[in-house]
Chains A and B, each alone.
Chain A
Amino acid sequence: MSEIVLREVLKRYGTVQAVRGLSFEVDAGELFCLLGPPGMGKTTVLRLIAGLERPDAGEILVDGQPVQEARPGQRDVAMVFDDIALYPHMHGFDNIAHPLRRRRLRDAEVRRRVDDVAALLGISHLLGRLPHTFSGGEQQRVAVARAIVREPKILLLDQPLSNLDAKVREVMIGELRHLQQRIRQTAIYATHDYEEAMALGDRILILHDGQADQIGTPDEVYSRPTTTLAATVTGSPPMNLISCRVHNGQAVVDGWTVPVDGAPEEIILGIRPEHVRLGEGVPGVIDLVQPLGRRKIVEVLFSEVRLKAVAPPDFQGARGMPVRVTLNPQDVRVYTRAGRLTPAQVTAPPAPLEGADSNP
Chain B
Amino acid sequence: MATIILDRMRKEFGATVAVDDVSLEIPSGRLACLLGPSGCGKTTTLRMIAGLETPTAGEIRFDGRRMNDIPPQRRGVGMVFQNYALFTHLSVYENLAFGLRVRGVTGREVDQAVHRFAELLELEALLGTGVARLDLSTMQRVALGRTLITQPHVLLLDEPLNNIRPGLRETMRAELRRLQLELRQTAVYVTHDQEEALSLGDQIIIMRQAQVEQVGTPEEVYGRPRNRFVATFVGSPTMNLLPCRLAQDDGRLRLVADGLLFGAERWARAREAGPDLLLGIRPERLTLGSGGLQAQVTLVQSTGAEQVLELMIGAHRLKAVAGRDRRFSPGQTVRLDFPSPDLYLFDARTGEALYE
Residues of A within 8 A of B (CB): 37-38, 136, 165-168, 170-171, 173-174, 177-178, 181, 192-195, 198-200, 218-219, 222-223, 232-238, 272, 274, 287-288, 290-294, 297, 299, 308, 310, 313, 319
Say whether B235 contacts A174, CB under 8 Å. Answer: no
Cross-chain contact of B237 among A38, A170, A291, A297 (Cβ < 8 A):
A170
- In the assembled complex, the Cα of A38 lies from the Cα of B183 at a distance in Å of 32
With A170-B237, A238-B167 as known contacts, state yes or no: A181 contacts B330, CB within 8 Å.
Answer: yes
Given A171-B238, A174-B299, A291-B198; 9 other pairs, CB 8 A cutoff: A170-B236, A170-B237, A222-B304, A235-B167, A237-B170, A238-B170, A274-B305, A287-B178, A291-B222
With A166-B195, A181-B299, A222-B304 as known contacts, state yes or no: A291 contacts B165, CB within 8 Å.
Answer: no
* B303 interface contact, C-beta 8 A: yes
Chain B contacts with A in 286-339, Cβ cutoff 8 A = 299, 301-305, 308, 310, 321, 324, 330
Q: Which residues of A contact B321 (CB under 8 A)?
A: 294
Instruction: Convert B139-172 into 0s and 1s, putting 1 for each residue whose CB lies closer than 8 angstroms to a CB of A.
Output: 0000000000000000000000000011100110
* B193 interface contact, C-beta 8 A: yes
* B38 interface contact, C-beta 8 A: yes
Q: Which residues of A contact B171 (CB under 8 A)?
A: 237
* B268 interface contact, C-beta 8 A: no
With A174-B310, A287-B178, A294-B235 as known contacts, state yes or no: A167 contacts B37, CB within 8 Å.
Answer: yes
Chain B interface size, as a band, is: 35 or more
Which of B198, B284, B303, B308 lies at the interface centre, i.e. has the most chain A CB atoms within 10 A of its CB? B303
Q: Which residues of B contact A308 (CB under 8 A)?
A: 174
Say whether B167 contacts A293, CB under 8 Å. Answer: no
User: A271 to nearest B CB, angstroms?
Assistant: 12
Residues of B within 8 A of A (CB): 37-38, 165-167, 170-171, 173-174, 177-178, 181, 192-195, 198-200, 218-219, 222-223, 233-238, 282, 284, 299, 301-305, 308, 310, 321, 324, 330
A306 closest partner in B (C-beta) = B174
Q: Which residues of A contact B177 (CB under 8 A)?
A: 288, 290
- In the assembled complex, the Cα of A294 lies from the Cα of B237 at a distance in Å of 10
Cross-chain contact of A292 among B38, B181, B198, B308 (Cβ < 8 A):
B198
Say whether B170 contacts A199, CB under 8 Å. Answer: no
Chain B interface, DSSP helix/strand/loop, else mixed: mixed
A218 closest partner in B (C-beta) = B302
- In the assembled complex, the Cα of A177 lies from the Cα of B301 at a distance in Å of 8
Can you list 5 A-B pairs with a CB-CB distance of less than 8 A?
Answer: A170-B237, A177-B299, A236-B305, A288-B177, A319-B181
A320 closest partner in B (C-beta) = B181
A319 closest partner in B (C-beta) = B181
- In the assembled complex, the Cα of A166 lies from the Cα of B161 at a distance in Å of 13
Q: Which residues of B contact A174 (CB under 8 A)?
A: 299, 301, 310
User: B130 to nearest A CB, angstroms?
Assistant: 19
- In the assembled complex, the Cα of A173 lies from the Cα of B304 at a distance in Å of 15
Q: Which residues of A contact B233 (CB under 8 A)?
A: 167
Q: Which residues of B contact A287 (CB under 8 A)?
A: 178
Q: Which residues of B contact A37 (CB under 8 A)?
A: 165, 167
Say whether B165 contacts A192, CB under 8 Å. Answer: yes
Cross-chain contact of A235 among B193, B199, B235, B305 (Cβ < 8 A):
B305
User: Which 5 pairs from chain A and chain B are nearest by CB?
Assistant: A290-B199, A222-B304, A199-B301, A166-B193, A291-B218
Say whether B165 contacts A222, CB under 8 Å. Answer: no
User: A50 to nearest B CB, angstroms?
Assistant: 24
Say whether B167 contacts A232, CB under 8 Å. Answer: yes
